[in-house]
Structure 1
Amino acid sequence: MSMFEQLRSKHGAVAPVLLTGDLPAWLVLGYREILEVVRTPSRFSNDSRLWSELKEGRVPADSPLLPVVAWRPDCMSADGEEHRRLREAINESMGRFDRRGVRRYVTRFSNRLIDDFSGAGHADLISQFAQQLPMIVLTQLLGMPEEYGPRLVEAATELVKGSEKALESNAYIREVLGQLVARKHTAPGSDLASWLIDHRAGLDDDEILNHLWLVLIAANENTTSLMASVLRMVLTDQRFRASLAGGHMTLPDAVEQVLWDEPPTIVVPARWATDDTELDGNPIKAGDMLLLGVAAGNFDVEIRPDTDAAMYGNRSHLSFGGGPHECPGREIARAIADTAIDTLLMRLPDLELSVPESDLNWRSTTWTRHLVAIPVKFAPRRGTGAEPEPAEQTSQSAPRIPPSSQTAEDSGPRGVSLGAGPAPMSPEAESPVPSPSVPGPRTRRTWWASVKRWLRRG
């Protein structure tokens, strides 16, 4: 946070910055200023075709920024009536997923991954768990075979990093999704691709592909980072773990605390000024790019005077966006993170870091920051976490997420998520949607009950 604090002390809530290729942009650091940008699309559009640097030919064709910010025919790039048409399709199609069914998938695949390393007595919770699970679940939700997961994890990572492989990786992901859309026309199933094809909004194949791309990239990177941060906190912060174990905080509470303190996306690209305007006293020219400093906004002392205070139950952070483009998949992301970590801690209650916390390394990009590895140790166990396959649902009978968790708003920007506002300003803060319990074929103990049983045996 020191860089953001330095920028804020020098420039205030909005700071001029340079991106790769010396491309100028404005970094919005203030909580209220971020909300002003995301809630007024008439002034700050998601359509990158407005970008003056792009229109004037100063953005190279091979710029690693383009796969993230380039215009696409999806609800993220659209405003007005076109946005409403596309957003309705993605909201209603995602609303057909049963959150309990999603949690069953997460539990099942979590157990599979844990079985792979539980006998060894040691593991890396990033490469062997947090980096694999979200993509495995997403391939199921989108309608792909799960074996696509590992290669898609690699490609999505390179894309979000903005590496020299970003363009090649993006091409691969789009090729896979194009094949998926073509296949679902003739062999539909109970999945997002099939439901988008069948939606009354009449999306064409290019629109369907781009919405699948948006869901895949945004959900994978952000959920992986969220899981990594929650795991680090559980393993290293004794006050946090004691609070969690003592019943003062639930695992969903822990997820929300991390969304405040370590948002999966620290800087969100991007908005573009539709006309000359002003933000926090800065003259913003038509076509200027604005980046949203979510991590800085979550620590803005104007809305969070005590930055060390617990934020249990407060969903007004900026990690899932605000305004008409708020992330529609936030409940699925929460379900994946808290269900997976609960399953892990129940299976391995004696889990602990195998290196000092100071030896943990971080990977940072323009947009994200998360751990490279979380090496852990535990008593070796035989893999016994297999659960029955969930019953197949038909697209006609798939239960919907209750309408109260759906909004007429859009997913976080390309490959990332945004967030909401402080308690009096945020719809989520006013009526939080509780995460349902994890269903299963057998009675499950809480992970802390498993810890206590393990301690008694010792």
Structure 2
Amino acid sequence: MTAPPPGCPAHGSSGPALRRLFGAEAESDPMGLYERLRREHGTVAPVLVHGDVPAWLVLGYHENLEVMRSPSRFSRDSRRWHALQDGKVGPEHPLAPIVAWQPICVFTDGAEHERLRGAVTASLDRFNGRGVRRHITRFAHQLIDDFTTDGRAELVNQFAEQLPMLVMTQLLGMPEKYGPRLVEAARDMIQGTETAVASNAYIMQLLGELVAEKRVAPGPDFASWLIEHHSNLTDAEAEQHLRLVLIAAFETTANLIANTLRRLLTDRNLRSSLAARGGHLSLPDAVEQVLWNEPPFTTILGRWATGDTELGGQHIKGGDMVILGLAAGNVDPAIRTDPDDPDDGSANSSHLAFSGGPHECPGRAIGRAIADTGIDVLLTRLPDLHLSVPDSELRVNSSLMSRHLVELPVEFTPGPKQPEQSAPYLPVTPPAQRQPESASESGQPADAAGPGTEAADTAAGPRRRRWWRRLADWLRRPAG
């Protein structure tokens, strides 16, 4: 067991030896920063977050799982954080909307966590997978209709960011008109900008109005089911869990769609590996590789040590913040010798992209459904889609928790708009047919049990199989 280096959180100092997870170095090359930290400190590294507040970043795959699966050692209750207790992270701190304790399942453990998370998962399980996919398909067509006759589009702003918010506002029971403004506020809040607190306040105002409305006039939607659940959530608890589901689904799914489209349009290795599989192309396989190599959240804040402990050879003091390094863990040399090799296991779902343990993302199946279905609809409508700028001109913005593509300009053969579709009905799944609440109950990865899986895609029939063959032919074309 090694002694912590000077300036690490255990010493209560922010010495010059510590690297920042914000600023120029982190924003220009976060993956390079993670590898430098791995070389300097091993699988767990002392770092600084905004305001030069010390923390620990977990870089190892197995160490990340250890933290995720050990709530008795690493709690989700941020009130344990000495930086909050000492006033170093106050209400106006950029990270306050993310780390300040709230009455939601992600900040609780034990029985209270089970009560709150049970309300969320039970309410999500009431959605029928096919009904959700019909909504995704309808919104995807609507977005494509806005630019299909132009022959060009910018897919981050016009598709990847809009689709998840349109779907989630529908599932939550919110008016569709809220979508565009919520996209801006959600992105701002996640990035921890100077206006993050104001953006969070705007989102909470809308959700407060939604809860008040659904108390009086419930409907077949997530907000109503959450309120009606036997856990008897208070208005504050309901509002906070609506925000949790809305923001988590938006950020992860928007990034996943954009990253997958970019890789399909630019990555020669991915094209070759998919084409080399005898033409049996699987879009879910491609999405899994993106979840391994470019997870929507690069880090997750945070866990807080319940007492003095050891992790990855480092001394962690009680009250220290531990940050899950999802992107770094996914490329840990201990489990992946060559992240660019498509046969290194990255087609499976054992990545860290959706976290793990008792706080694993409960909405991962819906997020995968939005990504898989949305991309499928887009490439079916626009089969000759290609970049309108060189790969080198694509820009990525990085923040503490995520990296997102700024723009994805494309061109294609203009096509007609789809006939206007009426809003599909979202049938409720009967209790006997609902999926188990966790992966451990079913014996399968969580995303194997919900919508958006390869099995569901295969069941879609001959039209989808013809689409796979067309895309396989397209991917075999030389890039450029």
- TM-score, scaled relative to structure 2: 0.86
Runs of 4+ in 1 over 4 A off after TM superposition: 242-246, 399-405, 429-433, 438-446, 448-455
Pairing 1:289–2:321 present: yes
Alignment of 1:47-86 (within 5 A): 47-86=77-116
Alignment of 1:406-417 (within 5 A): 406-407=437-438
Secondary structure at the residue paired with 1:264? coil
Query: Which residue number in structure 1 is paired with residue 350 of structure 2?
Result: 316
Structure 1 pair 87/158, CA: closer, same or farther in 2 (3 Å)? same
Question: Counterpart in 2 of 1:252?
Answer: 284
Q: Which residue of 1 aligns with 2:6?
A: none
> Is 1:140 aligned to residue 136 of structure 2?
no
Structure 1 residue identity aligned to 2:225: W
3-state secondary structure, aligned to 2:106: coil
Report the Cα offset of residue 247 of structure 1. 3.4
**RMSD value over aligned CA atoms?**
2.5
Distance 1:401 1:10, change over 3 A: farther
Residues 112-133 of structure 1 deviation map (CA, whole Å, 9 limit, x = unaligned): 0000000000000001000100
Identity %: 56
In structure 1, C-alpha distance between the alignment counterparts of 2:395 and 2:78, rounded to whole Å: 34
2:414 matched to which residue of 1? Answer: 380
Q: How many Å separate the matches in 1 of 2:75 and 2:39?
A: 28
Residue-by-residue CA offset, 1:44-72 (whole Å, 9 max, x unaligned): 00010000011012223310101011111
Counterpart position of 1:112: 142
Residue deviations 1:243-274 (CA, integer Å, cap 9, x gap)? 54653331111111100010001111100001
Match of 1:361 in 2: 395
Q: In the TM superposition, what are the counterparts of 1:115-194 in structure 2 within 5 Å? A: 115-194=145-224
1:236 alignment partner AA: T
Using the TM superposition, give the Cα deviation of residue 407 of structure 1 relative to its aligned residue in structure 2, in angstroms: 1.2
Q: CA deviation at 1:99?
A: 1.3
Deviation (angstroms), 1:386: 4.2
Partners in 2 of 1:453 and 1:300 — Cα distance? Answer: 33
Partner amino acid, structure 2, of 1:118:
T
1:437 aligns with 2:471: no
Question: Which digits, 9 at most, give the CA deviation of each residue in 1:193-213, with x for residues without a partner?
Answer: 000111111111111111101
Contact kept, 8 Å, 1:113 with 1:128, in 2: the verdict is: yes
- Residue of structure 2 equivalent to 1:40: 70
After superposition, give the CA deviation of every residue in 1:254-303 in whole Å (9 maximum; x if it has no partner).
Answer: 11110001000111110000111111121111100011111010001111
The 1-side partners of 2:458 and 2:159 are apart by 19
Q: 1:146 to 1:290 in 2, by over 3 A?
A: same
- Cα distance in 1 for residues equivalent to 2:422 and 2:460: 9
Matched residue type, 2:306: T
Q: How many residues align?
A: 436
Report the TM-score when normalising by structure 1. 0.90
- The within-5 A match list for 1:329-344 is 329-344=363-378
Aligned equivalents of 1:370 and 1:452: distance in 2? 27
Retained in 2: the 8 A contact 1:95–1:401? no
Deviates more, 1:244-253 or 1:325-334: 244-253
Q: Is the 8 A contact 2:397 2:403 kept in 1?
A: yes
Shift of 1:305: 2.3
- Structure-1 separation of matches of 2:172 and 2:399: 27
Deviations 1:119-154 (A, max 9, x none): 000000001000100000000010001110001000
Distance 1:378 1:442 in 2: 25
Residue 251 (structure 2) pairs with residue 221 (structure 1):
yes
Contact map agreement 1:264 1:319 (CA 8 A) in 2 = yes
Structure 1 residues 242 and 86: alpha-carbon distance in aligned structure 2, compared to 1, 3 A threshold: same
Question: Are residues 198 and 343 of structure 1, via their aligned partners in 2, closer, same or farther at CA, if it must alter by over 3 Å?
Answer: same
> Do structure 1's residue 24 and structure 2's residue 54 form an aligned pair?
yes
For the residue of structure 2 that corresponds to 1:21, the secondary structure is helix
In structure 1, what is the Cα distance between the partners aligned to 2:308 and 2:272?
52
| Structure 2: gaps of 5 or more residues | 1-30, 476-480
Distance 2:60 2:458 in 1: 37
Give the Å deviation of 1:427: 5.4
Question: Which one of 281, 289, 303 corresponds to residue 271 of structure 1?
Answer: 303
Answer whether contact 1:269 1:291 (CA < 8 A) is retained. yes
SS of structure 2 residue aligned to 1:9: helix
Closer, same or farther: CA 316–401 of 1 in aligned 2, 3 Å: farther
SS in 1 for 2:219: coil
Which blocks of at least 5 consecutive residues in structure 1 are unaligned? 410-425
Contact map agreement 1:349 1:448 (CA 8 A) in 2: no
1:230 to partner: Cα distance: 0.3
Match of 1:307 in 2: 339
The yes-or-no answer on 1:204 pairing with 2:198 is no
Alpha-carbon shift at residue 445 of structure 1 (Å)? 6.5
Which whole-Å CA distance do the structure 2 matches of 1:54 and 1:364 have between them?
A: 25
1:95 and 1:402 in contact (8 A); partners too: no
Conserved in 2, the CA contact under 8 Å of 1:103 and 1:438? no
User: Which piece of structure 1 moves more, 295-304 or 432-441?
Assistant: 432-441
Residue aligned with 2:298, SS: coil
Match of 1:428 among 419, 431, 445: 445
Q: Which moved more, 1:82-91 or 1:439-448?
A: 439-448
Aligned amino acid, residue 353 of structure 1: L
The one-letter amino acid of 2:208's match is: G
Q: Do the aligned partners of residues 64 and 290 (structure 1) sit closer, same or farther apart at CA in structure 2, a change above 3 Å counting?
A: same
Shift in Å at residue 161 of structure 1? Answer: 1.0
In the alignment, is the contact (CA less than 8 A) between 2:76 and 2:109 conserved in 1?
yes
Q: Is the 8 A contact 1:126 1:373 kept in 2?
A: yes
Q: Cα 1:114–1:244, aligned 2, differ >3 Å: closer, same or farther?
A: farther
Q: Assess, with a 3 A threshold, how the Cα gap between structure 1 residues 274 and 221 changes in structure 2: closer, same or farther.
A: same
Q: C-alpha distance in 2, partners of 1:338/1:431?
A: 13
